[in-house]
Amino acid sequence: MVTATERNELIDRLERTVEPEQGWIPMFVYSDPDVYRLELERVFGKTWLFLAHESEVPNPGSFVVRDMGEQSVIVGRGDDETVRVFLNSCRHRGMKLACEDFGEVENWRCPYHGFTYGSKGEFMGTMRGAPFERKAYPQGLDKDALRLIEARCETYDGLIFATWDRDGESLEEFLGDARWYLDLLFGRAEMEVVGVPQKWVVPSGWKLPSDNFTSDAYHTATAHSFLGRLGLTKGVDFGRDGYHVSPGHGHGLGIGIHFDEESYFPPELQDEYRSNLSEDQYKVLSRLKNLHGNIFPHMSFLQPNFIELGGRKVSGMMLRVWQPIGHDRLQVWSWHLIEKNGPQWWKDAAKAAYVQTFGSSGMFDQDDTENWELQTKNANSALAREGEIVLHYGMGLEGEPLTEFPGPGAVYDGKFSEAAGRVYWRTWLDLILAGERS
Ligand SMILES: [Fe+2]
């Protein structure tokens, strides 16, 4: 436990040393235990957090169990079809109501004493709410006082988000200009999650991968150079051509563009894409060869670079959450999504590509994970904690956004820029500084 004075000193130190606009970030912020405690309260306790895709809770009573910060929550579709998010905690003694990862239920019944809740979070009350209710509570139980604690929940393009901030900005305001680009991946067609998400633990602070997906196309030519060395690609410049986008609010993305005549996406899906996207969005999708990004703080997405598989061009889309489980550990959640109405060849090939490239068996993930693990070790070192190690975030500091690009936000020509990364850090710092000093 830190004292109030130590905590105030830490906040002062962050205000003094985190300098996004100058392009300098002290390395201790990636894994410091006290910084992590502040983040749980001021970042994860305040901002919108991605939890699930609507296709994971298709029916009344379907639910999945996720985390907001370190708090377990139930994302469930009620018997009125509405998706809600509840703290996964019985109102009686705080036991987890749902101990499984997903399921379909009529009621949630606490495994400890049997208190029972309906799919809209309501305590079931007389006879059905608590065992031996007439004997144990002859005076009756107040149903309203025992409702499950509910987070504010909104969706965009089938992506379910929730926040504990009941009076803050709407999800649409929070996503802002990033929505135009999210549409290219999640709104271009009816999408569905394939199987269940893969999960694994990485000994890394959660901001390293988030930051990587926000603004780091630069690492691909070095960290993933095996592609070129093994002859799987012609060179290692797949991360170079395209655009870097800083849509604001700490979100960031990069778009890789090809110069071929035909779209790399299946011809069978073009009509659906056209009906869901604006003309400008459709044009960008038709030239797309990869797209990476991060929605602040920790939801990443990737349409990986198209590769040749069985004579066709294929890319297996993924969605990520870098779930913090400590100051220097995270749990990766990795989903694969596909067009529900896509042809079977595309579904099969995209899944094969996803499994080969990313996910727990993916060739790329192994490269990235080793970097994040070894960076975290350095961030934990005595010199980093003393503030001696300060990292350079100055790429593209002089760059001017394009005026011609059809999509919104600050868009830079070429993918090599850390502009969105600097806004990511500014957003993070503003949230940390926004809370009270005790
Ligand atoms: Fe990578």
More confident residue, 209 or 227: 209
Ligand 1 center–CA 156 separation, angstroms = 26
CA-nearest of 52, 265, 76, 253 to 156 is: 52
Q: Establish whether the linkage from the previous residue to 297 is cis, with ω within 30° of 0.
A: yes
For residue 84, how far is its CA from the centre of ligand 1 (angstroms)?
Answer: 34
Q: Ligand 1: distance of its center to the CA of 381 in Å?
A: 24
Section 219-243 average pLDDT: 82
Cβ atoms of 245 and 407 within 8 Å: the answer is: yes
Q: What is the pLDDT of residue 87?
A: 98
Mean pLDDT, range 98-122, rounded to an integer: 94
Average confidence (pLDDT) over 242-269: 96
Provide mean pLDDT across the span 258-279.
Answer: 97
Nearest alpha carbon to residue 228 among 338, 319, 420, 363: 363
Residue 232 CA to ligand 1 centre (angstroms): 16
Ligand 1 centre distance from Cα of residue 373 (Å): 13
303 CA distance to ligand 1 centroid (A)? 12
Q: Work out whether the CA dihedral 376, 380, 383, 385 comes out positive or negative.
A: positive
pLDDT at site 282: 98
CA distance 211 to 231: 29
Report pLDDT digits (tens) over 280-292. 999 999 999 999 9
How many angstroms does the Cα of residue 224 sit away from the middle of ligand 1? 7
Residues 409-426, mean pLDDT to the nearest whole number? 97
pLDDT bin (cut points 50, 70, 90) of residue 357 is confident
C-alpha 318/C-alpha 334 separation (Å) is 7
Domains in the chain, CATH or no CATH each: 49-163 (2.102.10.10), 176-434 (3.90.380.10)
Give the Å distance between the CA of 237 and the centre of ligand 1: 13
Let me know: does 73 contact 101? Beta carbons within 8 Å.
Answer: no
* Residues 103, 328: Cα–Cα separation, whole Å: 31
DSSP 172: H
Task: Give yes or no for residue 371 having a pLDDT over 70.
Answer: yes
Average the pLDDT over 332-359 and give the result.
94
* Distance from the alpha carbon of residue 363 to the mean position of ligand 1, in angstroms: 10
* Å from CA of 116 to ligand 1 middle: 45
Per-residue pLDDT averaged across 231-257, rounded?
88
Query: Is 10 exposed, middle or buried (CB count within 10 Å of its CB: 0-12, 13-18, 19+)?
Result: middle
- C-alpha of residue 300 to centroid of ligand 1, in Å: 12
Beta bridge partners of 438: none
Instruction: Check whether 437 has a pLDDT greater than 80.
Output: no
Asked if the model's pLDDT at residue 89 lies above 70, the reply is yes
Q: What CA–CA distance (Å, rounded) separates 29 from 328?
A: 11
Gap from CA of 83 to ligand 1 centroid (Å): 33
CA of 48 to the centre of ligand 1 (A): 25
- Residue 239 Cα, ligand 1 centroid: separation in angstroms? 10
How many whole angstroms from 113 Cα to the centroid of ligand 1?
47
For 129-155, the pLDDT digits (tens) are 788 888 899 998 888 999 999 999 999
Distance from residue 296's CA to the centre of ligand 1 (Å)? 18
The rounded Å distance from CA 394 to ligand 1 centre is 20
pLDDT, mean over the chain: 94
Q: Is 293 helix (H, G, I), strand (E, B) or coil?
A: strand
- In the numeric block, the tokens 């509910």 are attached to 150
Q: Is the pLDDT of residue 435 over 80?
A: no
**Predicted local distance difference test score (pLDDT) of residue 313:** 92
**Dist. CA 356 → ligand 1 center (Å):** 14
Q: Residue 46 Cα, ligand 1 centroid: separation in angstroms?
A: 29
Q: Using the mean position of ligand 1's atoms as its centre, give its distance from the Cα of residue 220 in Å.
A: 6
Per-residue tokens: 399? 């760059």
Ligand 1 center from residue 212 Cα (angstroms): 7
Question: How confident is the model over 13-18, as a mean pLDDT?
Answer: 97
Regarding pTM above 0.85, the answer is: yes
Decide if pLDDT at 257 tops 70. Answer: yes
Among 151-165, 191-205, 219-233, 390-404, which stretch is predicted with the lowest mean pLDDT?
219-233
Kindly state the average pLDDT of the residues 211-238: 86
User: Which tens digit of pLDDT belongs to each residue from 30-78?
Assistant: 999 999 999 999 999 999 999 999 999 999 999 999 999 999 999 999 9
For 182, which DSSP code?
H
Q: Tell me what percent of the residues of the chain surpass a pLDDT of 70.
A: 99
Confidence tier at 126 by pLDDT (50, 70, 90): low
